Structures are given as structure tokens and as C-alpha cells.
Structure 1
Amino acid sequence: MPLGIWLCAPAPADEHGLPPLIEGLTRSLVTQAVTAFTRRGNTVAVTGPDAARIAAVADTVSDRRVLCVDPETVTVGGRRDPVGGGARTPESGSMDLLLAAELPAPWIDTDGQPYTTWARWLAPGGVLVVATRNPAGAGRFADHAGAVVTAATNAGLSYLQHIIAVLAHIQGDRLLISSPPASVTLPADAVHTEAHTDLLVFHSYFGGAA
């Protein structure tokens, strides 16, 4: 698959003043995804943890309709169920872009959910962008990207691109990584600081109407 690199370091607003998004996302990453995969008049849906604030950032890109799905989630019996009155369910074939924050780890059920549902939401030519990470610690590696690709392609989507979103500032030959906010607790067995998020991009040829 084509490999892309985006520079998505935190802007001053991320670090001073505005509340931080979920760990692994920045405002520049969200707005760049919306700008890259939609055009004026398109409809965008955002889902996953912290979806309400991510949708608010996506809505700063002008002339797009932004829908927040599952603004909060809870885990019940191994499944993530929406809570809160602000959640909305898109109609089949109505989304031009679905941005899914699968952080810190993707939820993939044995029946292929939520990817089968997400595929139905997409319009013909619609795009699914999944933000995920492959954490490593104490000699362990989690292939979250591989699991996402398998689930999305099994749902009938075509794997379009893998984008590495670099979440650090670049100075010469060095990456300058901002300290995480006080609300973020790093794992005790973390062996390195994660400086990027994987964006996995999928395309729907037929959309939910197929």
C-alpha cells in the first residue's frame, strides 16, 4: 500500500488552553484528515472515544456537515455500547468520510463489528479513516493495524493507504515530543515514547446502498 507521512505535531492551542484530545490525536491530524478526504458539501462522521471533541475539531473545517456518533462509550460484556443522549446513527450510504478513533486499542467483535456497520454508512466512493497505534512494551508488540485491515477488508472495503501521522515537532534531525498532559498516565512498562499514530485509509466503491 502507498505509505504517506503527515506532520501533525500539537499546535499551541493543544498544549496551552484548549483541552487535549484523546492521546494519539491532535487537532492538526483531525483537520488534515477532513481536508484530505472530503470536499465542500460532504458529510463527515466521527466515532470512538472522545468523539464529541474530535467532531468539534472536524467541524472547524468549513462547509462540511459533521455528525458525532457515540460521543461516549462504555464496555459491556466485551462490547462497546453508546451512552448519552447526543449519539446519532447515520443512515445507510450517507457518509462521505468516517473518522474512527480506535485508541488506545481497536474494538473488533467476532461478527466483524463495528466495521460491517461502518461500511454500510459510507456513500459510494466514501472513505473510512481509522486512527490506531501498535504499542510495544516489555518486549511485546500489538499488531492493531493488521487486525484493523483484516476487519475492514472483510467488511468489503478496499485498503487504500497507510499514513504515518508524526505527532512531534521536527528540529534538524531530531523529533521534539511534547510532554503528555497531566491527565494522561503512561504505562509503567512503556519502553519508548510513541511519536506517531497510524491512519489506515479504506475506500468504499459501492457504499451502503449496495
Structure 2
Amino acid sequence: MDAPSQPTPALTGTPRQLLPLTVWMCPDPDDEQPTASSRFDPCVRHRPNAGRELARHLIATCTHDGDLVAETHPTNDSVLAAAAELGRRAVACAPHFALAQYVASTLRSRSLGGAARGVALRPCRPDQMTRALADHLGTTALVITAPPPDDGDTALRPSRQGRAACPGCSASVTAVRQPPLGEVLLASWRMLRPGGHLAVVTTARHEGGRFIDPAPQIIRQARALGFRYSQHVIAVRVPSSEDGVLVQSSPGDLAQIRDQRATALPPAARVHADVCLFTKPHPTPNDDGRNDREPKGKV
């Protein structure tokens, strides 16, 4: 006789929502790698999270020809150059003159031809872009933001090693304060058109003996404004082969290598960046006529 069938256990609690996850291979070009002869020495905190290959992936995925791309925390010309090469318009917010000068000079050194006329720099902080870019409110297709860490005075200390200061640190010092993440997300909401995308590029790190992952806070604050969390992207930033990935260290990284007997954590290699990709939803009939430029919540 057949054994009695066992009852199927009932699911309890809230169903899990699986996060759409993808991996992009985005190795940084050689001209974005830090070298001993670089005019500026980007510190570990401000090495470009949105390198040119990652920018190309984001722009090609989220925009169409002629669309506008805005960047809030530039450390070089990667996003502007990628947008020009793909036939998009782009504008970057540069709050510091030396940073703007550096980005503009590297952009001029590229062979972009007439495409360079579609990209520009605006002298403003990320949270002020709604005023500086008032002519583009509600029409931007993609905002790329890579906010630097904000954990005290060490985040604002320039890195010098015989060369000019890190342009990202210089911008932080000159701007007096880093705008809160919520203000940058709110400005991004107002810049984006319905259906537009916000890409927040970040990375987890060890600092002061702690593991710091900013992604949960970013997701929580973006959702509070009304953004829809569309996808999480792992952007591999180093070259790969069948045998693995190639991690190259800069002179500054090599100087941090500790004795094997040391109890402190070893220096971490930046192999990938995390990209939280959000979408500004289209207004619905339930919005009661609410202006689609205003978020549903505050952060």
C-alpha cells in the first residue's frame, strides 16, 4: 500500500523578493590607471568608481541617441567622454575650479571631434544641480552618481606624495561640506524624466577595522523618495582571463603592504564596483495630479 502523502508545508511570512543581479566586465583603460607620472594622484577614496567602460555600459543600456546624461561627482572625464563617443549629451557638476580644469584638459586631449560640443561642465555641488541645470529639469535620461565616503575629516584630507593633490579631495575641501546623500538623491529625482534612471556607483570597504557597505542606506533612501530599485550590477573593474582576474597595484598601494605577521587587515584591492540602478516611475492615475517632479517622500 502506498504511504500516505505528506502535506505540503505552508509558506509563512513575507515572500522573499529576489534581486535581479548582473555582472558587467568593465576593465579600466590603461589611461585611467594611476601612474607615477600622473598630474593628479587620485587617492584610494576618489579613484573613479564610474570608469569609462562602466560609463559606456550604463549609457548604452539606459539611454538613446541624443539623450542627456548628468554626472554628480566627477573625478575625471570618463562619463563625459563615454557619452560623447556614444552620441549622447552630457553635463558634469564640478564644484572646484582645479577639478573642472583637470577634467576639461583631459577631455580636450581625446579625439572626440564634433561630439565634444555635446558635453559640458557646470560649476556646482551635486545637491545644487537643480539650479545649475534648471534648463534640464525633468528631462534627463540618466544620472550617474558616485558619492565619495563621508566619514569625518580623513575623507577630506588631500593625498600628496610629491604631486598635486587628489582632485576629488580638493573639491571636497573647497566645497566645505559633502552634501548629504538624501539631498543628492532628491536633486537626481527632480532632474530625471519619468522612466529615467539613477545609477549610484559605490563599493564596500574595510576601514578602521570595520566593514562598511553603503548600499543598504542608498537603497533605503532612494526608495523613500519613490525610486524603483531596478537592478544591482557588479562591475568588474580589472582585466580577466580564463584563469582569473589581473589585479594591478599602484605605487601607493604597494607602499601599504604590511608584514605578514602584522595583525592589521591587509590592504584591499578594488576589483569591482557595485552599481545600484534605480528607475523614476511614470506617474499613475492614483497620483491625484501630483507633479511628477516631486517625490512622494522625504529623506
User: Contact between 1:160 and 1:202, CA under 8 Å: does it hold in 2?
Assistant: yes
Q: Which structure: larger Rg?
A: 2
Please state whether the residue corresponding to 1:59 is helix, strand or coil.
helix
Deviation at 1:146, TM superposition (A): 0.6
Matching residue of 1:109: 180
Structure 1 segment 34-45 matched on structure 2, within 5 A: 34-45=59-70
Q: Hey, which of these two has a bigger chunk of helix by percent?
A: 2
Deviation at 1:131, TM superposition (A): 0.5
User: Contact between 1:7 and 1:165, CA under 8 Å: does it hold in 2?
Assistant: yes
Q: Is 1:100 the equivalent of 2:145? A: yes
Structure 1 segment 1-210 matched on structure 2, within 5 A: 1-15=19-33, 22-23=46-47, 24-50=49-75, 53-72=77-96, 86-87=123-124, 88-90=132-134, 91-104=136-149, 109=180, 112-137=182-207, 139-180=209-250, 190-206=266-282, 207-208=292-293
Q: Structure 2 length as normaliser, TM-score?
A: 0.57
In structure 2, what residue type is equivalent to 1:194? Answer: R
Deviation at 1:128, TM superposition (A): 0.1
User: How large is the Cα RMSD of the aligned pairs?
Assistant: 3.4
Deviation at 1:145, TM superposition (A): 0.5
> Percent of pairs identical after alignment?
25
Q: Hey, which of these two has a bigger chunk of strand by percent?
A: 1
How many residue pairs match? The answer is: 198
User: Contact between 2:50 and 2:79, CA under 8 Å: does it hold in 1?
Assistant: no
For residues 222 and 275 of structure 2, the distance between their equivalents in structure 1, rounded to whole angstroms, comes to: 13
Please state whether the residue corresponding to 2:223 is helix, strand or coil.
helix
User: Contact between 1:6 and 1:166, CA under 8 Å: does it hold in 2?
Assistant: yes
Relative distance call for 1:105 and 1:130 in structure 2 (3 A) is: farther
For residues 204 and 104 of structure 1, the distance between their equivalents in structure 2, rounded to whole angstroms, comes to: 25
Relative distance call for 1:41 and 1:177 in structure 2 (3 A) is: same
In structure 2, what residue type is equivalent to 1:67? Answer: V
User: Contact between 1:105 and 1:144, CA under 8 Å: does it hold in 2?
Assistant: no
Deviation at 1:166, TM superposition (A): 0.5
- The farther-off stretch of 154-163 and 184-193 is 184-193
In structure 2, what residue type is equivalent to 1:167? Answer: R
For residues 108 and 180 of structure 1, the distance between their equivalents in structure 2, rounded to whole angstroms, comes to: 30
For residues 123 and 40 of structure 1, the distance between their equivalents in structure 2, rounded to whole angstroms, comes to: 16
For residues 185 and 72 of structure 1, the distance between their equivalents in structure 2, rounded to whole angstroms, comes to: 29
Please state whether the residue corresponding to 2:269 is helix, strand or coil.
coil
For residues 277 and 256 of structure 2, the distance between their equivalents in structure 1, rounded to whole angstroms, comes to: 28
Q: Structure 1 length as normaliser, TM-score?
A: 0.78
Unmatched segments (≥5 aa) in structure 1: 74-83
Deviation at 1:114, TM superposition (A): 1.7
Please state whether the residue corresponding to 1:99 is helix, strand or coil.
strand
User: Contact between 2:236 and 2:272, CA under 8 Å: does it hold in 1?
Assistant: yes
